[in-house]
Structure 1
Amino acid sequence: MKLEKMQKNIRFNENQLIYLVGKARRENTNAGFLYKKSSDTGKWQQRYFVLYQNLMFYFENENTSRPLGVVLLEGSYCERIITPLKGKESEKQITWNNFKIEYIFTITYKSEGQRSYELRTDTESECNAWIDAIRRASYSKVLEQKEELEQKHLHVIQILESERQAKWHYVQQTEELATEVKKLKAELQKFKKDRFSNHKLEDETDEIKKIKKDTDNEQQVILKVQSFFRGWLCRRRWKQIVELYIRSPHAESMRKRNSIVFSMVECEEEYNQQLSTLVCCFLRPLRMAASSKKPPITHEDVNSIFLNSETLLFLHQIFFKGLCARLENWPTLVLGDLFDMLLPMLCIYQEYVRNHHYSLQVLAEYKQKSEFNNLLKRYEEKPACETRTLETFLTYPMHQIPRYIITLHELLAHTPHDHVERNSLEYAKSKLEELSKIKACNGLVKN
C-alpha cells in the first residue's frame, strides 16, 4: 500500500512577521481595545488590536510584543450588525422591532470556508471609526481609486490637447491680425508724409495732432475688435467640446444607466410600501386576533401564511436606505457592494418561495370560515390596501427576484467591460438567477 502524502503546512517567515508587528506599533492606522468573540467558546474576550495597511494584529494586552494572531483584510467585507434580543434587556438598551442595537461589527469574506470575525466596541463612535478604517485598508480600494484617477487624467489630457489646437488657431489668427495692423500703420505713415508735404508749415502742427488723435482711436478700435474676436472663438470652441461630449456614446450610456438606477429606486420604494402594508394591515392585526379569547385563527397558521414577511420588510428597508445613500454621490453611482450585502440573505427568499404555495392553501381553508372571511374583508377595505386582496400582497415577493435580474441585465448592458463593479454585478446576477431556477423548479413540483 502506498502511504498517503500528508498535506504540508504553509510556511512563513516569522522574523518578517515580527518586523511588520514593530512597524504596525509605530505606523498604525488605528489601534485600541476591542472585544473579540471566540470561535470555540462563543465568549467575548478583550484584545488589543492594531491596524497596519491591510493587516490587523491582536495582542493579549497593550504591552505584549508578540501577537496572538493576525487578520488578512484583503477581499474582506466589514459591516455593522444588529443582534436579536436575548433575556432581560436594560432600560437603556436601544431596541427596534425586537432587535437590539449593539456596537458590533463583523469581518467576513466572499469565498466559502473562510473564518469570519465578530468584534465589539464600547461606544458608537469607536465602532464607526474601526469600520471606516477597515474598509479603507483594502488594496483593491486603492486600485479602484487609481483607475478612477487614471480616467480623470485621460479626460484632462484630451481637454488639454483640444485647448492646444485651439491656441494654435488663435495664434495664427492673431499673427494675421498683427500683419494687418502693420499694413495699416505703414499706410498711416505714408498718409502722414503726403499730408505733411501738401500743407503749409503753419497748418502742419494742427494736422499732425489731428492724425495722432485719429490713430489712437483706430488702435483702440482694433484692440477692442481683437479682444472680442478672441473671446468669441474661445466660447465657440468650448461649446463645441461640450456638445461633442453630450452626443458621445459614453455620455448616452451613462444617461441610460442613471435612468435605470433611478427607476430601480422608485420600484424599491414601492416594494417597501407593499411589504409595509402586508405587515401592518394583515400580519400584526391577525396576530392580535389570534391572541383573543375566541381566536378566528391560530398563531401557527398565521406564521404559516406570512412566514418571514416581517424579516423581508426589515431587509429591504436597509437595502432601500443604501440605495438612497448612493444617490447622494450622484453622478458616481456604485451598486455592486449593495448587491453583495443582499446575496447572503437570499436564503430568506428561498424559504418564502418554498412556503408560498402552502401559505395560499392555508389561507383558502380559513376563508371558507365566515368569521375569518368577514375579518379579512374588513382588513382589505383599509385605504392603504387600495382594494387589493391579501393573496395579491403575498404574491409580490415572488416577483421581486425576477425584477432584480432584469434590472441587472439592463445595468450590465450599459456598464463597460473594464468597469470596476462589472464583476460584482455579474456575480449578483448569477446568484439571483440560481434562486429564480429554484423557484421555477418548486413551482413545477407543486403543480
Structure 2
Amino acid sequence: MNRVQATYDIETPVGVSRAAAVLAGEQSTGTFVRLAAETDALRERSAARIENITITGTSSKPSLPSRKTGDNFERGTVTISWSLDNFGVSLPNLLSTLAGNLFELAELSAIRLVDIDLPADFAKAHPGPQFGADGTRKLMGGHKGPLIGTIIKPSVGLGPSETANLVQSLVDAGIDFIKDDELQANGPHCPFAERLEKVSHVLNRHADKTGKRVMYAFNITDEIEQMWRNLDLLEAHGGTCAMVCMASVGLPGLRAVRDRSKMVIHGHRAGWGLYSRSPDIGISFTAWQKLWRLAGADHLHVNGLANKFTESDAVVAQSAKSVQLPICGTDSDNLAPAHLAMPVFSSGQTVWQMDPARGLLGNDDFIFCAGGGIMSHPKGPGAGVIALQQAADAAKNGIAIETYAANAPELKMALETFKKPEITL
C-alpha cells in the first residue's frame, strides 16, 4: 500500500473520534469548514484516512493548556494514513504533514507522534546511512567489539593545541572513538580548521606509528555551504567521521551533508528534550530516528542506561534497538534498504553499564562513550579504557563482570571506584 501511516497519542475534550477527524482534515484536504473545491473525488484521492482508534482513558482536566474545555478529556491512540501522492518522497514535506499544525489544534489537549510506518517506495528514495556499523569498522581498520569512546571535555574553552594535547593522551590510552562536544563547532576560541589540523596530526601520526586508526567525530555543524567546506577540509586531512547536530541543521541540512560526505556521519541529537520530555506533546525517538536514518545518519545518540537525564532505561533500550531495525520491511524481503545505524550510548556511563547495553542489543554494533568512566579511573585514562574493554569481553562471553574482574585488575579497580547503578529494563 502506497500510504504513510502515523500513530498518535492524543487527549481531547471533544472525544477521540471527533478529534481524529479534525486532525485528519487539518493535515490533508480539510479546514474548519468544508470547501467548495473539496469534492468527493478529491477527498477520495487526497484526504487522510483514520485507520484505527483505541480509547485508553479519561481525565477531568487537560494535560496541556487548551482553549477548548469540557468536563471530560478523553485519551486514546489514533492511526492516520496519507497517500504518498500528497507529498511525494520529500522528507521535509512529510514532516510538515506528520508534525505540522496538528500540534496547535484547539481540539487537542495532548498530542504526541508515537510512530511512523513508511512504504518501501518512500524508503527507497533516500540514501540512508552510507557506512553503518560495518563501514565504520572498515574505516577503523577492521575494529572488533563495541567502540570504546569519549567526548572532549571541557565542552568549550580548550583551544586547538589544548584539544590536540588531550587527544594525544586519549589515543595513547588506547581509545577507539573520540567526539567533539556538541557545543564546540567553529567558535573564535577554537576554530574548526585549526582544531582539525592539529587533532588530525595527532591521529595520523598515531595511526602511522601503531597501525590503529582512531575515529574522531569532528563537529561540522554550521550553515550548509560551510558544512560542505568543512567536509572538504576533513577529507583533505584524512578524516573519517563528521558530526552533525541534527535538529540544528534540520533534515535538508543532514541530507546535504550525506550527499557530499565521503565519511561517516555521526548524528548528535542536541535539543532532544524539546521533543521527548513531555508525555503529552512531542515526537518519540522511534519515529524521529527513521527520518534521521533516511537522511543519512550512520551513528545516532540514544542516551545511556542509568543516565544523568530524564529518560528511563526502558526508553533508552527501545531507542537503541530501534536504530538497528529496518525502516520498513525486513533485511531479506528486498522491499527497501535496511538503513541500519549504530546506537551511541553516553551520559554517565561506566563499566557497569556495558553488559546491560550489549545485552539489550545482542551484538557489538554500538559506540559506548564514557567521560568520567575513563578519565576518573584511579590508574588513569589508559586503565579506564582497558577496564571498559575487559567489561565488553566479559559481556560478549557471558561472564559475570565481578567474576571476570578477579583476573582483570583494571576492571576490578573500576568496579570498586564507580558505584553500581540501578538499571531497570
Same fold, judged at TM 0.5 (above): no
Task: Return the index of the structure with the highest Cα Rg.
Answer: 1
- Structure with the higher fraction of residues in helix conformation: 1
Higher RCO (CA 8 Å, separation ≥ 6 residues):
2
